[in-house]
Structures are given as structure tokens and as C-alpha cells.
A = this chain, B = another copy of it.
Amino acid sequence: MAQAAPTVLQLVQSNSLPGLVQVEIEQLILRGELAIGQHVNESELASRFGTSRGPIREALRALEESRLVRSEKNRGVFVREISVAEADEIYDIREALDQLIGQRVAERVTKEQLLRLKAVAAEMDETVRVQDVKGYHALNLKFHDMLVDFAGNSRLTESYRLLTKGLLLFRLRGLKDGGGFAVSNTEHKAVIAAIAARDPTMAGRLLCRHAVESRARMHKAAAATSAE
């Protein structure tokens, strides 16, 4: 326990400057401050963080490896954007991983973890009630983050988060939400029920199914947006 404090202190001590810069730039991208497809200026970031370009370049190399940016020779790095096709590829993998996650969580979830999952689902219900799409998406990320965390496989957590981040680079995200983020949360609650029942097979199947539906909602949203 006691995992609340060591955030800043430990990071500054263990992670070096490029590591810090990396997470900072990542936040910039994920928060949309660096727009999708946009060119990333090294000098600008350097002066912004008060360092030279060296650490910035190292951080960008790491981000390139995790596919958050792409790099063109002598032109610099750009915030990566993914097509529907690539989003589909990611969803293929995500479905497989979600099935695994559902199984593992159902096997080893604690009572306390179960309560936290239910709490987040309740919060999401509230955002649905007031039509807070932005808040819903934030909680949705948190929910799936908790799930993969509870699966107890750190490498799986890593891979899953990487995939999820990639999905956030989808151009049309957030637009014209396919109509059903209410139904999305009912799926969440079904998953929780299967987990509470300690039914790995069912939990895996439902979570996989949830990913399938999520992908379908993405397609619906993409079609609706591109048709305008």
C-alpha cells in the first residue's frame, strides 16, 4: 500500500530528465495540446521545458517506439494519426487481450477492488444521466485501466495501455459518439457481475464482447462523421 506519495519524488530521482520530458510530451499529445498530425518542434519544446534539445530528442525517440509519434528524416516528428484500418487492427488485439483480462480479473479480484469497479460504474451512470460525454470517456479509460491492473500481469498492463493510447490518436474520436455510451455502461455492469460471480469464462467473454461493441460504435461514429 501507501502508493500515493512516491509519484513526483520517485520519478525525479529515478527517471532522468528525458524520462520526465517523455511523460510530459505524452500528456501534451493525449490532452490534445499537440494536435494529431501536427509537427513537433524540438526547439520549442526545449525552451518550454528549459532544457536543451538533446533530452527532447531522446524522449521523442521513445515516443516514436511506442508509436505515439512518427518521424520523417530531416523533417522532424509528427503526432501520429491512425486510420480506421489501423484502429481496426488495434481492436483485433484488444479483443483478445480483453478476454484474457476478464478471465484473470474474475480469478483474482478482491472485494475491495470489486467495490472500486462498481463505484466507477456508478459514476459513469451519473455522467450518462447528465450527458457528460467528456467525463464519461475519462471514467471509461479509468475503468479499463483498473481492470487491466487487477489482472495482475504488469507486462499485460503495459501492452494494453500502449494499445489504448494508440486508439486515442484516432482522428474522429469523441465526435458524434455512436449514440450509445449508455449501453456501453450496461456492458460494463454485466462484466462486473460476471467478475463478482467469479466466473472467468463469462467475464472474459463479456469483456471481449464489450470490445467488439466498442469497435462497432467507433465504426458507426466514423461513418456518421465522415458522411457530413
Contact = CB atoms under 8 A, between A and B. Distances in A.
A45 interface: no
Q: How large is the interface on A (under 10, 10 to 19, 20 to 34, 35 or more residues)?
A: 35 or more
A100 B92 contact: yes
Given A62-B64, A93-B100, A155 B86 contact: yes
A15 interface: yes
Contacts of A18: 61
A156 B89 contact: yes
Interface string A32-61: 000000000000000000000010011101
A95 B61 CA distance: 30
A159 B93 contact: yes
A119 interface: no
Contacts of A13: 73
Nearest to A13: B73
Given A61-B59, A64-B62, A66-B65, A93 B153 contact: yes
Contacts of A222: none
A140 interface: no
Contact of A153 (B57, B89, B159): B89
Contact of A155 (B59, B90, B97): B90
Contacts of A156: 89, 92-93
A93 B97 contact: yes
